[in-house]
Amino acid sequence: MTYAIILAAGLGHRFKETPIKPLFPIKGKPLFLHSLNVFLSCKNIETIILVINKEHRVSYLKYIDKLKSKNCYLTFGDPKQRYKSLMNAMMYVQKNFSLQPNDIILTHDAARINVTPKIIKQSILVAQKYGYASTVLPIHDSIGEIIKTVKYLDRHNKYLIQTPQTIQYKYWKNIKVKSSNKVTDLFTYLKLNVSQQHLVTGSLSNFKITTVDDLKLI
């Protein structure tokens, strides 16, 4: 079985618009629905779990009910701490489905609305073969660390980390992770070592909408 967890519980404090970022309309549809529709179109994903902010449940349901999808479920996350949303989503899956060690679980930021079925499919294939997969984009710009002066860093083998990030369930099954402010994605949460074989090439268009300026790029 293949499960997709779409994280849409954040409020988007840097976005500074109303309504909250996941519900902000883009081309007539709320932001989260763009990502969700891509995953719904992927025939190799049997179950989708959408992680939302509990306070806005009614607003999400208004759109979800119209989809009439039998494989999309809602659970609640934490609008401030990503790792809690990941924990809640996995607890929901473990409680409601009979997971097997080799089942595939994808996690994706709802704010990356330009994810493609090709990236999703490749993530699944790599995770099936090597246990887990991380979507990345090689960095081509110069990189500088600025403290008092600029220190240029070698950009060779440097990547932007995107989503989806994908694992076989056995890598999550027995993990015991303490809360940490350093958790920024699934792999820092699970403390997995990522090598070249785990990498899936993402896309420039698969960027995360963080500020209002990002809407111009979309």
Q: Express as a percent the part of the chain with pLDDT over 70.
A: 91
Mean pLDDT of 174-203: 80
pLDDT band at 159; cut points 50, 70, 90? very high
pLDDT band at 69; cut points 50, 70, 90? confident
Mean pLDDT of 144-159: 89
Cα R_g (the chain), whole angstroms? 17
Q: What local confidence, expressed as pLDDT, does residue 178 receive?
A: 58
- For residues 169 and 105, the answer to whether their CB atoms sit within 8 Å is yes
The predicted-structure confidence for 166-187, as pLDDT tens digits, reads as follows 999 999 876 665 555 566 788 8
- Beta 199-201 vs 132-138: how paired, if at all? parallel
Q: Is the pLDDT of residue 16 over 60?
A: no
Please give the single-letter amino acid code of residue 160. Answer: L
Report the distance separating Cα 216 and Cα 147, nearest Å.
Answer: 31
CA count, 13 A, side-chain hemisphere, 194: 24
Q: What local confidence, expressed as pLDDT, does residue 106 receive?
A: 97
Q: Is the pLDDT of residue 20 over 80?
A: yes
Q: What local confidence, expressed as pLDDT, does residue 172 receive?
A: 86
Report the distance separating Cα 106 and Cα 121, nearest Å.
Answer: 11
Q: Is the pLDDT of residue 108 over 70?
A: yes
The predicted-structure confidence for 26-45, as pLDDT tens digits, reads as follows 999 999 999 999 999 999 99
